[in-house]
Structure 1
């Protein structure tokens, strides 16, 4: 077989119903290959062996040490002296056995919880000291076997025994048997501590590199250059298969049995080949189809049917049982794929460079088929759409629309940009183009031909959907939705109505129109909408949006089969099943591999048959089998692994011992990292709960670590579980205790008790001391109060005495006031009496009735007048007035020194509030004279006009 044929990407194109073997591993396309390059795992290039422990963590024998991978994080554990690890095996009980040059031992968590290496080399008898590489390790229930080319070491019951051999190659475990080859001699079986020759094995002329159980007590033996052999327990015979030429040319290096009657072989020069029990080649995976390197150093199959390949440069994981298989254009030969379809035993790829095709062979005699895509002449340019209508393949192209027949490319329309085609009737098609709508008719010979372009409508028409009511819904390439009603002859738009946010839509941009289960729906970034004819308004399709979840914002709906539809959300795909009325079963997990691989907004999915679908992806295509079981999804789920516990109060410090985690209160911040060791492509979500902190589970999310800060003292139990494609794992737990602060520890409580006792006696002594002091204070207080009482009594007596004196003085003053008043009134009365006497004397008559002469009366009147103006009255009044109104005259004279005695008299009389008549009598003047004196007195006192004279004198 030519080398070029093997170097090309080889895929297998026979449909499963045609091929007679088991249907688990598909032969259309290649399975998904996950690359783990050196730049990702940060260790050596070469990976010599793989194993998986009971927790689900993968371990790799790497050229720089033991490499661990839990599905998210990589960790390298270096061997003593930086040795290369050549072999690795897990015992399923927490120990990972490794072998290197001159070294055997195991890795496990020590008493402190740290993953450490324990060497067993010192247990080897001195005579058989290990001075070479260890290439194989096998773990059984009671013993561990380490194999080098010269000695077999058996570790059992804490001791290492040896089996000396001649130069041998590799030891293999086939079922319960251990078989090893001696060069140029044959095979030997390890029984106990001796090697027993297997008769007939001398026919194996070159190195045996794998022995696999074949069923029915038989074994499949793979050699480096002479192909495959079958061993039935008695004889060894060559087994001719379709893989012979491949295995001999590219040198078989290792192998692994795959449940379902398959066998995978890794080669030195050309990747991996998979055959079935009939010897048919069903897969070939090499660098052209996704491997990082063609030299396969080791193979390992995990319980999820992931095939792990340790390469000369990197690690790869192959999902051999996935329902999705791929073809990649690694050379960049045909550009970006916008549409793909299978028709008449040919596969067509519409790209930005043109239309490419290759044979789609279903001949049983050509089981192993590679694609050879060629450009159809004349198809250069952008291909938008490939549609199969009534057995004819139509190609919507930038330059028009073409009918494709084999490699023939016939143009039937020059309307640029054929985006999509829909049936208008049995004999008519309608197509959306750059400049409006084009109509095609079916000719008598059944071929489609361009008929006319709908007039009066020149909108770029990305999506077109007739609604069965004589209306055509058109989605603008960028903005808005149009409802077009055709004229009676269908050749022009009788009415055109544009819809946007004014009509209930969420906006104008990115609005699509599709037929979903015989109902026209409208997609948008805010979810799906439906149109109501009566109100001429759009409404949100809430029933559908709720069931679609994150796919409610899908930009495209593509019919699948029956009541199934593809929902496309900007490169993400989900398959929805509407077969049950009122229910939508949405499957997106199986297509997560495709996320970001399809051309956004131009996603294309075509149906091959009722179960097979063809996806257009950026650099090729993918085949999906809807009936294929997914072993990974059906396998039992592991539990979530708690991988790391850290205290990050000041800096991150790992907590290694988890059986009794106690965290100091001053460092009560904890970070827990966890992961589900599931390696196939799946949507993994986590949910956690911290008992003692919260009573409710968190929301599902992708986060793989959780931090808790400022935890109160107490016992906590961290619970975490995962959900994979709707399936929920069991709960993993981690218990820890936040210790109380120092002031709440037992020692602190003992101190508190002692302090309480000491405080009790201290308080008791203090109380007694305070009581004595208080008693003394009371006595002193009583004494002070007594003295204060006596003092207050004395003051009260003094005040009473003073009050009595004041009262006496006030009484005296009142008496003197009364006396003064009486004296003044007596003087007034005397003066009035004298005045009457004076007046009566003037009226005296003699016996004859004549008035007496004045000369006779003058002397008497003089005596009367002298009595009226007697200064003794004033002196007596003045003395009495001064006693009653002490210092009145002194203040008055001091303030007004220009006052004369008559002024002082008037002031005194005014001070006593006498009326003018009384004052006139006392001063022996007329009432007019009183007024004149009052006026003059006001001037001398300088009183304002509005100031009352009497009030002024009383205030003085």
Structure 2
């Protein structure tokens, strides 16, 4: 399909569309987000709103001042005030608040707000207050509307303005401060004085004053609207009875938003005609509206008796769902005979004609339509219901059943009284008889369920099946088969057999498939890609596509809803960003788009329908910002972070600290779908991947200067301005100039000290070596002495052993000879040869008295005991030879018996000899003779 063809057809249909009247008024409910007290962790009631230059929202709440950045809520407490009634941000960005018995302002420290109370100034000035309800900035001063008076605050101090009476309300209108006093009417404050506005004395308590081109508009708390001229005052209208108005806000488009005590929220046009009424379970969460505020995205913040609603009234979408009486998933919609019919899986619903303030549902279920609705078919001026239970004719608020088999659709034929109906079992002929339609037969040869029927022309009919392909029926002028039915599927060019649907788009047949849109070539009987749609939509599945008959083609694709628009010079482009708001609501079963007219498009939703008004323009390219909300630092080993002011110009941390940066974007037009990207210069060259996380931490950063940059990506794919925060990771002392000087000094000292230390080391090593050599020599000498001593000791022991052996041998010899002598003497006594025996005995006597043995003994004894015998002989005391022998034997520790044998005396003789020796040696009584002789050996 060529773009030229599309352009021509759209322009042709547009001419017809322009001729149609647009009396249709669809009143759905805005997309909304509800915040309850658990979300913002404060009181259930809020009273006022204000927005800072950077987009942050501030809310006066029962529990304090609330701040919302699009991601999280934060609460600031006010001392000695149970409730905050009002909040105002002046031209300098100072946040002023007023509440119960308290007024003051918040100072932004960078890491949060600090409250500065003006309570002391009030006390000093003798001013008593109970409640503060409004705050204005006027002529360089701040005005507080107390319960009964005006109080002004400036650098000059705080003071009460003298009032003509009891103040009941005040208003800032067109740079004029107008006050209403009970029973006195309206006054304008000029130069500190109240000037009365004539003809206003009888007015009831006003809740709003606005100025239009010709007059001032007064709105009372009971709904009376007045027009005030210099010449007088006129009652314009009364909005409603038995209602109390809490707040009125003139919207940027000229409409009025009115919050009531028990009737919810009203949206009125500039002429005070009601456009929309929202109340509990019908667009908002509560029927009591305390305050209304329009933010910089033109959406409404609504303070309820319990919680806060955010209404996205700037969007060209609203919902028609169960809150308006529509039950179930939407399947088809039709605007017919100035009535709206909506079909769901629970039946057919018709819009009711009810009072706009009624709590009744806007739509009601038509009796007999309960169950699955597939389509609402219009044939000329007649309406049909295609239903799971069969086919019905719709007549106003009633249904007439014309067929029992589950019905999908009806299609008009070229025959005036003949239509075709697709049902669960094929295609049927319906003829009109007696003002009703009756089935008259089947299209032979086709028994497949026929959900989609499309006439290409008067005689070519296409039927598409969800998973078997598409069928082409060639009919004659009587709608009878002219040729056999042709079945097309994957074998004929489609990517698969499933998800093939036939559409007649602005007079031209197209076929959607599992992958892209196709055209049919009647000559080759093959299907090929539609290059026009391929270029715009790619190969994703298109589940429904409709034209508005003017310059737009609407479609539902896998990625969501979109529109193809004609631009200049016959070019086309697609738009999908705006519709990201509604994609999550769109149904995924038998999706359908219903085009009522150019400004009313209905899209089937999981819960009812989505209404789209293309005439309602919405700026998706609005600039927005990302705000660094907090900077925190802590020791790496400690999880406790300390807040650091975000306006700090020179933040310095050390390497052992962590830094955590939190950020947000107050882009309330889709704050649920914000993503962020960041980088840390110069550490990161590229930006991070987009993520919904709104904080970043860094640990163990190398020392140096850093700049953290962050930006946001909104729901439309637009990027915010970059926000940045700079900080420094402290250079360790050893990397500073001081450290370098220390290094150089140490290096010079080392250079000087190295030779000195080397000489000292040489001397020390030489000394150590010398001492070591001395020790080694000493050890060797000791080893030599030890070896020599051991050798001498060994020799001494050997000689001692020899001496002992000789001595013992002498003893034995003596004993033996003595025994022989005794025996011989005995023999002689018994009569032996006397002469011979005597000779033997004499010989033995000579042997016993022979001193030769002593010489041998003396030699060995002196060898062992170091000339001991010479020592005895050389003593001053002269010892006899026998005494010397006795001393020698005693030195050897010999017993008296052994000594007796050696000296050839008796044991008694030995004892006497010992006694004489002691006496001769002049030993004391207690002295031991043997010990003395041993000690003598050591001298």
| Matched residue SS, 1:67 | strand
**Deviations for 1:605-652, whole angstroms, at most 9, x for unmatched residues?**
21222332233445544432222223x547x43322222334585536
Q: 2:630 pairs with 644, 658, 664, which one?
A: 644
Quick one: distance in 2 between partners of 1:457 and 1:299? 61
Q: 1:317 pairs with 292, 299, 310, which one?
A: 310
Q: What does 1:540-619 align with in structure 2 at a 5 Å threshold?
A: 544=533, 547-548=536-537, 552-562=540-550, 564-569=552-557, 572-577=560-565, 584-619=572-607
Quick one: distance in 2 between partners of 1:158 and 1:545? 71
Is the CA contact (8 Å cut-off) linking 1:528 and 1:541 kept in structure 2? Answer: yes
Q: 2:133 pairs with 135, 144, 155, which one?
A: 135
Quick one: distance in 1 between partners of 2:167 and 2:415? 75
Is the CA contact (8 Å cut-off) linking 1:555 and 1:601 kept in structure 2? Answer: no
Structure 2: any 5+ residue segments left out of the alignment? 1-17, 767-939
Judged with a 3 Å threshold, the aligned counterparts in structure 2 of structure 1 residues 287 and 17 are, in CA distance, closer, same or farther, namely farther
CA drift at 1:138: 0.8
Q: What does 1:928-947 align with in structure 2 at a 5 Å threshold?
A: none
Partner of residue 124, structure 1: 122
**Deviations for 1:113-172, whole angstroms, at most 9, x for unmatched residues?**
332211122222524244411111112361111121233221111621222444321222
Quick one: distance in 1 between partners of 2:659 and 2:252? 47
Q: Does 1:36 align with 2:48?
A: no
Q: 2:423 pairs with 415, 424, 433, which one?
A: 433
Q: Does 1:286 align with 2:283?
A: no
Quick one: distance in 2 between partners of 1:202 and 1:537? 83
Partner of residue 108, structure 1: 107
Quick one: distance in 2 between partners of 1:16 and 1:330? 34
Q: What TM-score do the two structures reach when normalised by structure 2?
A: 0.69
Q: 1:215 pairs with 213, 216, 222, which one?
A: 213
Q: 2:227 pairs with 221, 225, 230, which one?
A: 230
Quick one: distance in 1 between partners of 2:564 and 2:353? 28
Judged with a 3 Å threshold, the aligned counterparts in structure 2 of structure 1 residues 475 and 355 are, in CA distance, closer, same or farther, namely same
Q: Does 1:300 align with 2:293?
A: yes
Q: Does 1:47 align with 2:46?
A: yes
| Matched residue SS, 2:309 | strand
Partner of residue 161, structure 2: 163
Quick one: distance in 1 between partners of 2:607 and 2:70? 27
CA drift at 1:343: 0.4
| Matched residue SS, 2:114 | strand
Partner of residue 875, structure 2: none
Is the CA contact (8 Å cut-off) linking 1:254 and 1:298 kept in structure 2? Answer: yes
Partner of residue 858, structure 1: none
Q: Does 1:675 align with 2:665?
A: yes
Q: 1:381 pairs with 351, 371, 375, which one?
A: 371
Partner of residue 338, structure 2: 345
Q: What does 1:740-759 align with in structure 2 at a 5 Å threshold?
A: 740=730, 742=732, 745-746=735-736, 749-759=737-747
Partner of residue 469, structure 2: 481
Partner of residue 236, structure 2: 240
Judged with a 3 Å threshold, the aligned counterparts in structure 2 of structure 1 residues 235 and 485 are, in CA distance, closer, same or farther, namely closer
Q: Does 1:182 align with 2:172?
A: no
Partner of residue 393, structure 2: 403
Partner of residue 911, structure 1: none
Is the CA contact (8 Å cut-off) linking 2:80 and 2:102 kept in structure 1? Answer: no
Quick one: distance in 1 between partners of 2:722 and 2:340? 49
**Deviations for 1:805-832, whole angstroms, at most 9, x for unmatched residues?**
xxxxxxxxxxxxxxxxxxxxxxxxxxxx
| Matched residue SS, 1:678 | coil
| Matched residue SS, 1:614 | strand
CA drift at 1:64: 0.8
Partner of residue 67, structure 2: 68
Q: Does 1:253 align with 2:246?
A: yes
| Matched residue SS, 2:585 | coil
Partner of residue 87, structure 2: 88
Q: Does 1:761 align with 2:749?
A: yes
Judged with a 3 Å threshold, the aligned counterparts in structure 2 of structure 1 residues 258 and 482 are, in CA distance, closer, same or farther, namely closer
CA drift at 1:29: 3.8
| Matched residue SS, 2:683 | coil
Q: 1:655 pairs with 644, 661, 672, which one?
A: 644
Is the CA contact (8 Å cut-off) linking 1:676 and 1:722 kept in structure 2? Answer: no
CA drift at 1:87: 0.9
Is the CA contact (8 Å cut-off) linking 2:594 and 2:601 kept in structure 1? Answer: yes
Structure 1: any 5+ residue segments left out of the alignment? 1-14, 779-956
CA drift at 1:99: 0.6
Greater shift in the superposed pair: 468-477 or 735-744: 468-477
Alignment length, in residue pairs? 742
Q: 2:384 pairs with 370, 394, 406, which one?
A: 394
| Matched residue SS, 1:80 | coil
Judged with a 3 Å threshold, the aligned counterparts in structure 2 of structure 1 residues 327 and 397 are, in CA distance, closer, same or farther, namely same
Quick one: distance in 1 between partners of 2:181 and 2:475? 89
| Matched residue SS, 1:665 | coil
Partner of residue 855, structure 1: none
| Matched residue SS, 2:597 | coil
Is the CA contact (8 Å cut-off) linking 2:227 and 2:235 kept in structure 1? Answer: yes
Quick one: distance in 1 between partners of 2:734 and 2:413? 83
Quick one: distance in 1 between partners of 2:256 and 2:567? 39
Quick one: distance in 2 between partners of 1:504 and 1:710? 60
Q: Does 1:173 align with 2:159?
A: no
Q: Does 1:77 align with 2:66?
A: no
CA drift at 1:598: 3.7
Judged with a 3 Å threshold, the aligned counterparts in structure 2 of structure 1 residues 91 and 366 are, in CA distance, closer, same or farther, namely closer
CA drift at 1:268: 1.4
| Matched residue SS, 2:335 | strand
Quick one: distance in 1 between partners of 2:744 and 2:37? 66
Judged with a 3 Å threshold, the aligned counterparts in structure 2 of structure 1 residues 504 and 701 are, in CA distance, closer, same or farther, namely farther
Greater shift in the superposed pair: 644-653 or 345-354: 644-653
Is the CA contact (8 Å cut-off) linking 1:658 and 1:734 kept in structure 2? Answer: no
| Matched residue SS, 1:393 | strand
Q: What TM-score do the two structures reach when normalised by structure 1?
A: 0.68
Partner of residue 902, structure 2: none
Judged with a 3 Å threshold, the aligned counterparts in structure 2 of structure 1 residues 253 and 602 are, in CA distance, closer, same or farther, namely same
| Matched residue SS, 2:212 | strand
Partner of residue 356, structure 1: 349
Quick one: distance in 1 between partners of 2:721 and 2:139? 28
| Matched residue SS, 1:43 | coil
Is the CA contact (8 Å cut-off) linking 1:53 and 1:91 kept in structure 2? Answer: no
Quick one: distance in 2 between partners of 1:16 and 1:767? 109
Greater shift in the superposed pair: 426-435 or 172-181: 426-435
Partner of residue 666, structure 1: 656
Partner of residue 258, structure 2: 265
Quick one: distance in 1 between partners of 2:250 and 2:19? 21
Is the CA contact (8 Å cut-off) linking 2:498 and 2:513 kept in structure 1? Answer: no
CA drift at 1:668: 5.1
Quick one: distance in 2 between partners of 1:412 and 1:197? 74
Quick one: distance in 2 between partners of 1:705 and 1:523? 44
Judged with a 3 Å threshold, the aligned counterparts in structure 2 of structure 1 residues 582 and 187 are, in CA distance, closer, same or farther, namely closer
